[in-house]
Amino acid sequence: MNDIFVLIEHRQGVIRDITFELLAFGRNLANKNNAKLTAIIFADNSKKIIDKIKTQADKITVIENPIFKDFNAESYQIALAEIIKKENPFITLIGHTAFGMDLCSSLATELKIPFTTDCLDVEINGKKLSVTRQMYDGKLNVKLQLQENDSYLVSLRAGTFPAEDGNLNAEIEKIESPISAEPDYRKFIEYIEVVAGEVDITKSDVVIGIGRGIKEKDNLDIIDEFADAIGGVVGCSRPIVDAEWLPKDRQIGSSGKTIKPKLYIAIGISGAFQHVMGMKSADTIIAINKDPNAPIFNEADYGIVDDLFKVIPVLKNKILEAKA
Amino acid sequence: MNFGLTNDQKMLQKEVRNFAETELKPLASEIDVSGEFPSENIKKLAEMGLMGIIVPEKYSGSEFDFISLAIAIEEISRVCASTGVIVAVNNSLVSYPILQFGNEEQKQKYLPPLCIGEKIGAMGITEPNAGSDVAAMEATAKLNGDHYILNGTKRFITNGTAADTFVVFAYTDKDAGYKGMSCFIVERDLEGFSLGKHEDLMGIRATGNCELIFEDVKVPKENLLGKEGDGFKICMNTLDVSRIDIGAQGVGIAQAALDESIKYSKERKTFGKPICHHEMIQNMLAEMATKIQAARLLVYYVGYLKDKGVKRFSKESAMAKYYAADIAVDVTRKAVQIHGGYGYTKDYPVERFYRDARILELYEGTSEIQKIVIARDLVK
Amino acid sequence: MNIIVCIKRVPQTAEAEVKVDSSGKDIEKDRLIFDTNESDTYALEEAVLQKEKFGGSITVITVGDEDSEETLRIALAKGADEAIRIKVEDLDELDGFKTAQILHKIIKDMDFDIIFTGCLATDDAYSQVGTTLAKLLEIPHASLVTKIELSENSADAYRELEGGLLEHLKIKLPALFTIQTGINVPRYASLIAIRRAARKELNEISKTEFGEMKSNSFIEELFTPPVSKLAEILSGNPDEVSEKLTGIIKEKGLI
Ligand SMILES: Cc1cc2nc3c(=O)[nH]c(=O)nc-3n(C[C@H](O)[C@H](O)[C@H](O)COP(=O)(O)OP(=O)(O)OC[C@H]3O[C@@H](n4cnc5c(N)ncnc54)[C@H](O)[C@@H]3O)c2cc1C
Ligand SMILES: Cc1cc2nc3c(=O)[nH]c(=O)nc-3n(C[C@H](O)[C@H](O)[C@H](O)COP(=O)(O)OP(=O)(O)OC[C@H]3O[C@@H](n4cnc5c(N)ncnc54)[C@H](O)[C@@H]3O)c2cc1C
C-alpha cells in the first residue's frame, strides 16, 4: 500500500500534542496495512522537531523555508498539494485543530480527493476507507464510507488517540519548498495572546465549570457561593463567554484553557469534545446535568442526573457542614 | 376555513418564543417573588415591537392582526404571566381604545410613545364599589371651561405604578345612567393625580397593581376619548377585544404547566416506573393537552372574527376568555398534582403558574360575568 | 460591500433526546425543534453590522427543504436583503462537500465582496462547507473568525486558535470567512421586520439545474457512541446525592 502521511503541527516553536497523537495513530494504521509512515514537516528550522519525532515515523519529509515559521493555511495548502500529488500517499492524516480546519477542505478540494473531518477512527479495507465521527452534539456516532479513491484526506479529532513512544529511525528527506513566498492574498501578521485576568483557573486545585445550563447571568451567584464553599474557582464552557457572562480567560476547552485540577465539577455542561479537551486531565471529574444522555457522563467519574438548581444549594450546605 | 398560521404569524411565534425564553424567562420567578415591575424588559419588548402589536406602523406600531396578538401574548405568558398582562394592557386596554375611538391628534400624540416603550399605559375602570357592576362607578368628570375636573378612586389597576398614560372612565352625567359615562386619557403628571395602595397580589405579582386617586385633577378637554357619554360603549367594546389577550394568557400559562408536567412525569419514578406510565397521570396529561388546544382555537377564533371586521363578538369573546380561564386553573392545578409535594414548593414553577392562573377568572370580567354575557345572548 | 451569508436550519439537539430512526442512517426528527444553526446566526449578524457600517446588500442562501424558508425569512427580518433557497428534498444525501458544490454553482455568478458562513453546523459537524466553497470559488478564506475589520480591498481577520490565541491575518477581498460564536451579539427580528420579510419573494432554484454532484461519503450507520467509561451515577434526591458526593469529595481529601 502507498504511504500514510502525517502532517506535523507546531506553533511558536512547540510541537503540538496532536502531532504525537497523529503519529501514534498513523503508525498503528501503517503496521496494520503494511504501509510506510511519512511525517511531513513544514518549518523555518526543523532540527528540534526532527529530534523529537524521528523515532516515530519511517520517513520524515522536511520542507524548510522562512515562510513556514508561522502557520498560514494557504502556504501550507499550496506546498502540501504539490507533495501529495507527487507522492500519492494512500491517506494523509491532519489534526482537526484550528490549523487543520483552516487547511484541509481547500487541500482536498485542490487535490480532488475524498475528505472528511473530525474523525475518531479510520478503517482501511482494501482500497476502501471508512471512518467514524460524531454528529448531533456528540449524541450519535456515524460510520461513513468515503468515495473510493487512490488517495484520501482525513482530519482526526485531537485528544482521541494516546501518544506513544516509537522505536523507528526515520529516514530524512529534505525537499525544496514548492513556493518561496506567502501568497499576497493571505498574509500572516501575528499571534495575539489572550490578556490574563485576575483569576488563573489553571492554577487552582478545584475548578467548578459552569455551562449553558445556568440559563442566566444572575444565577452565577449560586455557583460563586458554591465555589467559595468548596474552595475552588469558577471556569466555564464557551457559550458563557460568548454571552459575556464570564471573561475569556475562564473558558475551559480547546479554544480556551486546559486545566489539570485535582477536582473538576462540570455543572450544566453537555460535554462537547472541545470542552472535554480542556478538562479531561483532571484527577477527579464530577458532572451534574439533568440530561442522563449528556456526553459529559462519559468523561466523569461521578455523575448526578438532576436539576443543578436543586442540587447545588444542598450540596453547598453539605460541603460546608463537612468542612466544619 | 383555514387552521394554519400564516408565514408572518409563524415567524412571530418563533421569534417571540426565542425572545421570551432568553430575555423574559430568566426574570420570571424573581419578579414573582419581589413583585418588582420589570421596567428593563419593557424596553426590550418595545424594541421587538411587542408594546404596539396591533397599532398601525404610522403610529410606530407593528401592525399585526389580532390572531398574532394572541400568539404573542400566549408566548410571553408561557414564560412570565406578569409580563403577559403588562403587554396585553398596553396593547388592548390602552392602545386599542385610543386607536379605535381617538381622533387623529390623540392617536398621533399618545400611540407612538406607547409603542416604542417611552410610555406605559394602564386602564382604570374598577373602583372600590364598582367591579362587576361597572355602571356603579362613582368617579366624576365635570366640564369646567377648557378642562374636566376629575374626581374618584380606581382600584386594582394593572401597570398602575409604572404607567404614564391612563385610560380612565368617569361619569360626566351621573343622571343619564351608563349613557352618562365618558372616557379620558389622563397623563400621570397632572396635579391631584396620585397613586394609592399598592396591591400585594397572589399571582401576576410584578404588574405594578395599585390604586389611582384623582382629586380635582384638571384633564384637558381634548383628552376626552370619543364623545361625552361614549364611555360605556368604549369600555364594553374594548373588553370584547382585550378578552382575546386574557384568553391567550390562559393558554400560555396552561401550556407552560403542561410542558413542565410532561417533563417531570418522565423523570419522576414511583412504584418502579416513571409516573408518566401510570394511567391516572396519563389521563391528566391527555385532558390538559386537549383543553389547552380547545381554548387556543377559541381564542384564535375571536381574533379571526375581529380580523375579519365582524362588529359584534361579545359572546364569542366571553366564551374564549371564560373557557381559557377555566382550563388554565384546571390545568395548573393538575400540574401541581402531577408534581406531588414538589409542586407545592417554589423549587418548581408550577405553583407560580397555579397562582397566576387564578387571576384569569377574575379580571376583565369575572367568569360569572362572562357566563352572563354568553347566556344573555343565548336567550335574548 | 455586497455580502453573501450561507445559513442552515438544524435540529437543536444539545438538550434533546436524539434517536436513530428505523433506517439506521438518520435520526427521528419529528420531536426535535429546528432553528438556524448557532454560528450562522453570528455570521448573519456580522454581515448586518458590516452593512450598517459600509452599506451594500446582504444575500442569504440556504441549501434546504421547504421548511428552511422560515430560516431565510427570519434572516431577511434580521437585516438580509435577498434570500435564495436551493431546493433539495432529500437532505440526508448531502454532505459538506456536496453542499459546498451546490453553493458554488450559484455563487460563482454572483457579485460579492465577502461571504460569511458559520464555522460549524451542529448537526453533521463537518466544519467543511465554508472552506471548501472558498476553494471552489478560488477566493481566500479564514476560518474560526472571532473578529474582523474591513477596509476597501482587504480585511484584518482574527482567527481563534487553541488556548484562545488569536491568529491575525490580512486577506484580500473578495474572501470568505467562517464565523465563530461570540464574535457579536445576534439581534432579534422585530415584528415590523418580520411582517415585511414574510411577504418578500424568495428566490428558489432547483438543485437539479446544476446537474449531478458527487458526495464525498455515504452514511453506513448511525449509532449511540460506545461508552468508554461511564460515570458512577449517584442516585437519590438532592439531599441524598449531595450527602454521597460530599462523602466522596471528603474521602479523596479534596476538602
Ligand atoms: C472550533 C470550536 C472551538 C470550541 N471551543 C470550545 C471551548 O474551548 N470550550 C467549550 O466549552 N466549548 C467550545 N466550543 C463549543 C462546543 O462545541 C459546545 O458548543 C459548548 O461546549 C457547549 O457548551 P455547554 O455544554 O455549556 O452548552 P450546551 O451544549 O447547550 O449544554 C448545556 C447542558 O446543560 C444541561 N442543563 C440545562 N439546564 C440544566 C439544569 N437546570 N440542571 C442541570 N443541567 C442542565 C443540559 O442538559 C445540557 O447538557 C467550541 C466549538 C468550536 C466549533
Ligand atoms: C390583579 C388584578 C388586576 C386588575 N386590573 C385591572 C385593571 O387594570 N383595570 C381595571 O379597571 N380593573 C382591574 N381589575 C379589577 C377587576 O376587573 C375586578 O376585580 C373584577 O371586575 C371583579 O370586580 P370585584 O373585584 O369588585 O368583584 P365583585 O364585582 O364584587 O364580585 C364579587 C363576586 O360576585 C360575583 N358576581 C358579581 N355580580 C354578579 C352577578 N350579577 N351574578 C353572579 N355573580 C356575580 C363575581 O363574579 C365575583 O365572584 C383587576 C383586578 C385584579 C385582582
Per-residue pLDDT tens over the stretch A115-160: 999 999 999 999 999 999 999 999 999 999 999 999 999 999 998 8
The pLDDT of residue C114 is 98
Ligand with minimal distance to B166 CA: 2
Partner residue facing C190 (CB), from B8, B10, B48: B48
The answer to the question of residue C231 being in a domain is no
What is the sign of the dihedral through the CA atoms of A268, A274, A276 and A282? Answer: negative
Quote the minimal CA–CA distance from C102 to chain A in Å.
14
The pLDDT of residue C92 is 66
The answer to the question of residue C186 being in a domain is yes
Residue carrying the nine cell digits 500519492: A88
Quote the minimal CA–CA distance from B346 to chain C in Å.
15
| Cell of residue A5, nine digits | 502521511
Q: Which of B132, B321, B322, B374 to mutate to test the pocket of ligand 2 (most atoms within 8 A of CB)?
A: B132
Q: Ligand 2 in contact with B81 (CB < 6 A)?
A: no
Q: Ligand 1 in contact with C145 (CB < 6 A)?
A: no
What is the SS3 assignment for B183? strand
Q: What is the CATH number of the domain that holds C71?
A: 3.40.50.620
Q: Ligand 1 in contact with A237 (CB < 6 A)?
A: yes
Distance CA A264, CA C130 (A): 35
DSSP state of B43: H
The string of pLDDT tens digits covering residues C73-125 is 999 999 999 999 999 877 667 889 999 999 999 999 999 999 999 999 999 99
Q: How confident is the model at residue A174 (pLDDT cuts 50, 70, 90)?
A: very high
Distance CA B296, CA B284 (A): 18
Number of domains in chain C: 1
The answer to whether C124 and C63 are in contact (CB under 8 A) is: no
The pLDDT of residue C72 is 97
Domain span at residue C128 reads: 2-210
Distance CA B372, CA B321 (A): 13
Do C191 and B64 count as a contact with CB atoms less than 8 A apart? Answer: yes
pTM (global) more than 0.80: yes
Q: Ligand 2 in contact with B82 (CB < 6 A)?
A: no
Within B116-193, where are the H helices?
Answer: none
Amino acid at B310: V
The string of pLDDT tens digits covering residues B94-108 is 999 999 999 999 999
Show the domains of chain B with their CATH numbers. 7-120 (1.10.540.10), 122-230 (2.40.110.10), 232-379 (1.20.140.10)
Show the domains of chain A with their CATH numbers. 4-175 (3.40.50.620), 206-323 (3.40.50.1220)
Beta bridge partners of C179: C118, C145
Distance CA C68, CA C66 (A): 5
The pLDDT of residue C185 is 95
The answer to the question of residue C143 being in a domain is yes
> Could you give the percent of chain B with pLDDT greater than 70?
100
The string of pLDDT tens digits covering residues B337-377 is 999 999 999 989 999 999 999 999 999 999 999 999 999 99
The answer to the question of residue C253 being in a domain is no
Q: How confident is the model at residue A194 (pLDDT cuts 50, 70, 90)?
A: confident
The pLDDT of residue B199 is above 80: yes
What is the 3-state secondary structure of chain C?
CCEEEECCEEECCCCCCCCECCCCCCECCCCCCEEECHHHHHHHHHHHHHHHHHCCCEEEEEEECCCHHHHHHHHHHCCCCEEEEEECCCHHHCCHHHHHHHHHHHHCCCCCCEEEEECCCCCCCCCCHHHHHHHHHCCCEEEEEEEEEECCCEEEEEEECHHHCEEEEEEECCEEEEECCCCCCCCCCCHHHHHHHHHCCCEEEEHHHHCCCCCCEEEEEEECCCCCCCCEEECCCHHHHHHHHHHHHHHCCCC
What is the SS3 assignment for B72? helix
CA B117 to chain centre: 17
Beta bridge partners of A64: A43
What is the sign of the dihedral through the CA atoms of C72, C77, C79 and C83? Answer: positive
Q: Which of A207, A210, A270 to mutate to test the pocket of ligand 1 (most atoms within 8 A of CB)?
A: A270
What is the SS3 assignment for A285? strand
The pLDDT of residue B295 is above 70: yes
Mean pLDDT of chain A: 95
The answer to the question of residue C252 being in a domain is no
The answer to whether B80 and B50 are in contact (CB under 8 A) is: no
Q: For residue B109, with 0-12 CB atoms within 10 Å meaning exposed, 13-18 middle and 19 or more buried, which class applies?
A: middle
The pLDDT of residue A278 is 94
The string of pLDDT tens digits covering residues C209-229 is 777 788 889 999 999 988 777
The Cβ of residue A310 has, within 10 Å, a number of other Cβ atoms equal to 20
The pLDDT of residue A195 is above 90: no
Quote the minimal CA–CA distance from A186 to chain B in Å.
39
Partner residue facing B26 (CB), from A216, A309, A310: A216
Pairing between strand A140-146 and C232-234?
A: unpaired
